[in-house]
Amino acid sequence: MKKIAVAKGDGIGPEIMDAVLKIFEAAKVPLQYEVVEMGKWVFDKGYSNGMTPEAQQTIEDLGILFKGPMETPKGKGVKSVNVTARKTWNTYANKRTFQTLHGVETVFSKAGIPIDLTIVRENIEDTYGGIEHMLTHDVALSRRFITRPGSMQVIKYAFEMAKKKGARRITCGHKANIMKITDGLFLEVFYEVAKDYPELKADDVIVDDLCMKLVSRPHEFDVVVLTNLQGDIVSDLCAGLVGGLGFAPSANIGDHISIFEAVHGTAPDITGKNIANPTALLLSGVGMLRHLGLMTAAANIENALLYTLESGVHTGDFGDKSTPSVNTTDFAEAIIKNLGKLPDHNPRPVIPDLPMTPTHFKLEQNPLIMTQEKEEEKIVGVDLFIESAEQPNAVADKLLQHTGDLFKLVTISNRGTQVWPKGSVYTNLINQYRCRFESIGEEPVTQIDIMELYKRSMKDFKVCSLELLNMWGDKKAYSLAQGQ
């Protein structure tokens, strides 16, 4: 019998987790549970990552975490335990499925438009690195990391999942029209991977256009893969299409450890009242069973849930308001009574179990994921980010004294918009400039050359940070300023 780690969570977490495990028990799911200590109350005991060392060791030993919603204390300078867990164990693919559920009324169900969407969100990188600095008292900086190996992991997962699902279409949502290097890299990898899956229709759409189309024609989409922040927003949008976060299961998939959770909040206003809706957590658990190869139990439980919803049984957050709602316990009992029954709409096929997926991997060191450089790398300049309340021409006059024989001052921008050598007096300025120095004739320079330029510039300005201007072969690996 397989053992998994269970973290019941905060707020309504213990109530809905107990309800789900009771359904699992009634369905004779062959799992054992080891409860681990995670969540707000663990923060309050002094563990800054929201989990005890024993909990972390148990999860790493077992490889599967089934968790309820968790709260991160506000105003205490600590990171979200949910994000920490996903990143610590490199669960790089966040899979969230959104389907029409008969008995859960929405605008689209009323219109007879079926929804069957899967959003795959990159789960590790992007702005969720949480690497932030104040460059001046007015200017905050967040670093956004998009990597080729990280993009490759999640996009390959999305294509493999789409293939197994029998999807007709896989779409990359992005903002590469604006973020040409970061989102551009993600989109480039998407089409690299697409070449290995000719049976799937692969296309892309700008994320704002995607949102508009999702709320007007969601049935046109099948599988959508996005970067972290955009995927976070779009997946919550999709939850609204099928009835809300109470019906949105979530899986965080990694090579060694996977986390299955409800993504809704802890609902402190109804905690302890036994009225919470356990559907999202139950569907997340069903996804976990399929991940483990327990296909029969997964189908039986999901069919019982669908039959229950079709029958009009509902908690207070959804359903026919003219019929009485039931509490969490009674909702779970109704599902248990309906085990073995099939819904009228879209019953899930009951298929034999697959070989149990191995979930325990003993690692001796951190995996390093990287690709081979295909072309020669060279440094051809630097962006110096400086603090100044002076006008652009005054800044340029000072910097031009420090270029030396190796560099030329090419452009100065403010909040990404060029203000020197040309610009507009109508561009509002803040007290931080990006000053781009390129090597003369694009000849390579060294980091020592750049540090000498840095030291010379320090005579007139506080240099807040710098970024090297790299090239691989003939390809510039840096963006232009707006208006350059």
Strands of the sheet containing 417-420, edge to edge, are: 417-420, 407-414, 432-439, 377-387, 462-472, 475-476
Domain ranges of the chain: 2-337, 377-476
Report strand pairing: 31-35 vs 2-7. Answer: parallel
Which pair of tokens denotes residue 368?
């390093």
Residue 361 clears pLDDT 80, i.e. is over it: no
Element counts in the chain: helices (H) and strands (E): 14, 18
| 124-160 residue pLDDT tens | 999 988 899 999 999 999 999 999 999 999 999 999 9
Tell me the DSSP string of 184-245: HHHHHHHHHHHTT-TTSEEEEEEHHHHHHHHHH-GGG--EEEE-HHHHHHHHHHHHHHTT-G
Tell me the DSSP string of 1-26: -EEEEEE--STTHHHHHHHHHHHHHH
- CA dist., res. 195 & res. 199, Å (int): 10
Tell me the average pLDDT across 232-250: 96
Query: What is the per-residue pLDDT for 76?
Result: 60
Helices (H), 27-147: 40-44, 53-62, 81-88, 107-110
My answer on whether omega of the bond before 421 falls inside 30° of 0, hence cis, is: yes
- CA dist., res. 439 & res. 90, Å (int): 39
Among 3.30.70.1570, 3.20.20.80, 3.30.300.30, 3.40.50.300, what is the CATH number of 377-476?
3.30.70.1570
Instruction: Name residue 206's beta-bridge partners.
Output: 174
Residue 480 clears pLDDT 90, i.e. is over it: no
Rounded to 10°, the helix 328-337/295-310 angle is 110
Determine phi and psi for 316, rounding to 5 degrees: -70, -15
Query: What is the per-residue pLDDT for 358?
Result: 72
Q: Which residue in 463, 399, 481 sits closest to 136, CA to CA?
A: 463
| 2-29 residue pLDDT tens | 999 999 999 999 999 999 999 999 999 9
CB-CB neighbours of 25 under 10 Å: 12
- CA dist., res. 153 & res. 74, Å (int): 32
| 403-451 residue pLDDT tens | 999 999 999 999 999 999 999 999 999 999 999 999 998 789 999 999 9
Contact of 245 with 12, CB cutoff 8 Å: no
Q: Which of 70-84, 180-194, 243-257 has the lowest mean pLDDT?
A: 70-84
| 445-477 residue pLDDT tens | 999 999 999 999 999 999 999 999 999 998 999
- CA dist., res. 221 & res. 357, Å (int): 30
Contact of 214 with 237, CB cutoff 8 Å: yes
What's the mean per-residue pLDDT of the chain?
94
| 176-214 residue pLDDT tens | 999 999 999 999 999 999 999 999 999 999 999 999 999
- CA dist., res. 181 & res. 478, Å (int): 7
State the sign of the Cα–Cα–Cα–Cα dihedral 116, 117, 118, 123: negative
Alpha carbon of residue 156 to chain centroid: 15
Determine phi and psi for 435, rounding to 5 degrees: -115, 115
- Counting residues of the chain whose pLDDT is more than 70, the rounded percentage is 99
Query: What is the per-residue pLDDT for 481?
Result: 84
- Residue 358, H or E segment: none
Contacts with 331 (C-beta within 8 Å, 6 or more apart), sequence order? 19, 277, 278, 308, 313, 314, 315
Reported as a pLDDT band with limits 50, 70 and 90, residue 75 is low
Query: What is the per-residue pLDDT for 203?
Result: 98
Residue 311 clears pLDDT 90, i.e. is over it: yes
Tell me the average pLDDT across 263-283: 96
Alpha-carbon Rg for the chain, nearest whole angstrom, is 26
- Counting residues of the chain whose pLDDT is more than 90, the rounded percentage is 87
Query: What is the per-residue pLDDT for 130?
Result: 86
My answer on whether omega of the bond before 73 falls inside 30° of 0, hence cis, is: no
Biggest CA pair distance of the chain = 82
Query: What is the per-residue pLDDT for 454?
Result: 97
Angle 352-308-306 (CA atoms, 0-180°, nearest 5)?
Answer: 45
Helices (H), 392-469: 392-399, 447-457
Query: What is the per-residue pLDDT for 5?
Result: 97
Angle 51-258-142 (CA atoms, 0-180°, nearest 5)?
Answer: 65
Sequence letter at residue 110: K
Neighbouring C-alpha atoms within 13 Å toward the C-beta of 239: 20
CATH 3.40.718.10 is right for the domain spanning 2-337: yes
Reported as a pLDDT band with limits 50, 70 and 90, residue 374 is confident
Reported as a pLDDT band with limits 50, 70 and 90, residue 77 is low
